[in-house]
């Protein structure tokens, strides 16, 4: 499993319909994704992300929140 610290934009965090809209290093790009989300509870997190590659495509297996940015 690949472990890295990244910025996440999550809609409806801690609910059944949770969705990750951005996972990367750029806070500016994360803020743009955050502003484009219209409904639901929106959050920007700095998190330790655990990824695994399936057929050369990275999938987020789990993440641990380190800091809440918005």
pTM metric for this prediction: 0.86
For residue 44, the SS3 value is strand
DSSP character at residue 25: S
- Contact between 8 and 63 under an 8 Å Cβ cutoff? The reply is yes
Can you give the pLDDT at residue 58? 92
List the structure tokens of 39.
Answer: 């409904």
Tell me what the mean pLDDT of segment 41-58 comes to. Answer: 95
Location of structure tokens 């803020």: 31
- Confidence label for 26 from pLDDT (cuts 50, 70 and 90): very high
């Amino acid at each position: 499993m690949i472990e890295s610290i990244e910025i996440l934009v999550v809609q409806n965090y801690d609910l059944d319909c949770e969705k990750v809209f951005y996972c990367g290093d750029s806070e500016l790009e994360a803020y743009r994704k955050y502003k484009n989300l219209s409904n639901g509870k929106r959050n920007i997190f700095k998190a330790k992300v655990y990824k695994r590659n399936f057929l050369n495509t990275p999938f987020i297996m789990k993440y641990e929140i380190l800091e809440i940015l918005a």
